[in-house]
Amino acid sequence: MNIAATLSGCDTPSADTPRPVLRERGQREVFCGLTGIVWLHRKMQDAFFLVVGSRTCAHLLQSAAGVMIFAEPRFATAIMEERDLAGMVDAQDELDRVVDRLLSRRPDIKTLFLVGSCPSEVIKLDLAKAAERLGKQHMPNVRILNYSGSGIETTFTQGEDACLTALVPEMPAHVADAPQDLLIVGSLPDIVEDQFLRLFAELGIDNVGCLPARNARDLPRVGPNTRYLLAQPFLAETAMALEGRGAVRLDALFPFGAEGTTSWLKAAADAFGIDEAHFDRVVEPGRQRAKRAISHVKANLEGKRISFLPDSQLEVPLARFLATELDMIPVEVGTPYLHRAHCALELDLIPPSARISEGQDVERQLDRVRADKPDLTVCGLGLANPLEAEGFSTKWAIELVFSPIHGFDQAGDLAELFARPLRRRDVLEV
């Protein structure tokens, strides 16, 4: 039996006691960390992701990312054949040959990520060793790094966490007396990143770096005077690595919705001593814009009950946004991993009636959905169709990862993503 569910904490959360979390360790239904390559390869223009994996890995990437017809692709799979898996050839030699061929054909590649998969892990192919060996050959032209996107070790968004963690040791160090700077951590669509950079510049915060940088070669500096804001809630390892370099996390809500975005910007403004009145002058127009956009969708969502099955780790901040700004009622908020410190402010704002769960045991969670009968269930692709067939309205969690949803100007679109399936159901019922 693979069921292991425990309820930790106590029944009524208070300031002194942690909120109870239902912990489950059963069968999972989520994408593996390779999926992160789909958005990371678009973000880092000079990077290439070489998955060392199987045909399954190649199919996953091709179907998730589509085929790049007009541009040179920035990801590929070095497919391990049976003789690799059977140990009949030296997989390290084969990999050297593939990398040499790739880099001689593609001088535009400045950072190469060797990405581990389930098959490479099963045969214990040491990609860290390979990255070190190949790095010696190809530096300074190409930096070679490695991380694991395998489904044994990572779920979905953890691939980004593993990738960014691999970049942290490469970030140049600040000189000891460098002025305080700000680091935005987490991959955002360029248009959203530009909006945030404009707001920080208007606030008077000029030293702002982004991890990942648009060119993996232009990594921002880091040091004890770095204050960082997490843009994504799934970057626990990256945060730990940055703190190992002396950076200090600014505690804030994640930048979803009018209030989340305000809290996120305010944490930076406070750390940089920005005057309160100036903060309001700069931020208030965007905040009001976001509130207006959200209000157009509110009638479709208020009072509606929503359950999240664990998928992207965005579940906790999104449930907070829907509860506080759209008056939705979170019934269950499931997340693959819950970082209590990073999500502490979020958890405080989710109504105590909501069940918070961490990890997955898919059959038990589906049973709870059937018992709870939420108006909307946010879940992975594989669970959406069966639930729809049972009469539940669903939202694909992956859409929330692939759409621009951070910041003031995306708040209305974010609310709309939840309203659409409910409107569709209403139309079908008429």
State which residue, 60 or 379, has the beta carbon closest to ligand SF4: 60
Under rule CB under 6 A, residue 412 binds ligand SF4? no
Residue 32: partners with Cβ closer than 8 Å, 6 or more residues away? 60, 117, 118, 149, 150, 151, 154, 155, 156, 159
118, 32 in Cβ contact below 8 A? yes
Q: How far apart are CA 401 and CA 231, in angstroms?
A: 12
Under rule CB under 6 A, residue 56 binds ligand SF4? yes
- The closest of 429, 358, 363, 360 to 393, measured between CA atoms, is 429
Take residue 41 and report the two structure tokens written for it.
Answer: 């390869």
Q: How far apart are CA 19 and CA 11, in angstroms?
A: 8
Under rule CB under 6 A, residue 233 binds ligand SF4? no
Under rule CB under 6 A, residue 117 binds ligand SF4? yes
Beta bridge pairs of residue 378: 308, 395
Task: Determine which residue in the list 111, 130, 151, 228 makes contact with ligand SF4, applying CB under 6 A.
Answer: 151
| Three-state secondary structure call for residue 227 | strand
Task: Determine which residue in the list 53, 220, 286, 359 makes contact with ligand SF4, applying CB under 6 A.
Answer: 53
Under rule CB under 6 A, residue 384 binds ligand SF4? no
State which residue, 53 or 407, has the beta carbon closest to ligand SF4: 53
Provide the minimum distance between the beta carbon of 109 and ligand SF4 in the complex, in angstroms, as a whole number.
22
State which residue, 33 or 330, has the beta carbon closest to ligand SF4: 33
Under rule CB under 6 A, residue 250 binds ligand SF4? no
Under rule CB under 6 A, residue 38 binds ligand SF4? no
Task: Determine which residue in the list 52, 60, 144, 347 makes contact with ligand SF4, applying CB under 6 A.
Answer: 60
Task: Determine which residue in the list 54, 312, 324, 377 makes contact with ligand SF4, applying CB under 6 A.
Answer: 54
Provide the minimum distance between the beta carbon of 339 and ligand SF4 in the complex, in angstroms, as a whole number.
23
Residue 288 neighbours by CB distance under 10 Å? 12
- The closest of 76, 43, 62 to 164, measured between CA atoms, is 43
Residue 210 annotated in ligand binding: no
Under rule CB under 6 A, residue 387 binds ligand SF4? no
Q: With contacts defined by CB under 6 A, how many residues of the chain interact with ligand SF4?
A: 12
Terminal C-alpha separation, the chain: 44
Under rule CB under 6 A, residue 30 binds ligand SF4? no
Provide the minimum distance between the beta carbon of 135 and ligand SF4 in the complex, in angstroms, as a whole number.
23
Residue 350: partners with Cβ closer than 8 Å, 6 or more residues away? 316, 319, 320, 323, 330, 333, 356
Beta bridge pairs of residue 116: 52, 148
Residues annotated within a binding site for [4Fe-4S] cluster: 32, 57, 118
Which positions touch ligand SF4 (CB under 6 A)?
32, 34, 53-54, 56-57, 60, 117-118, 149-151
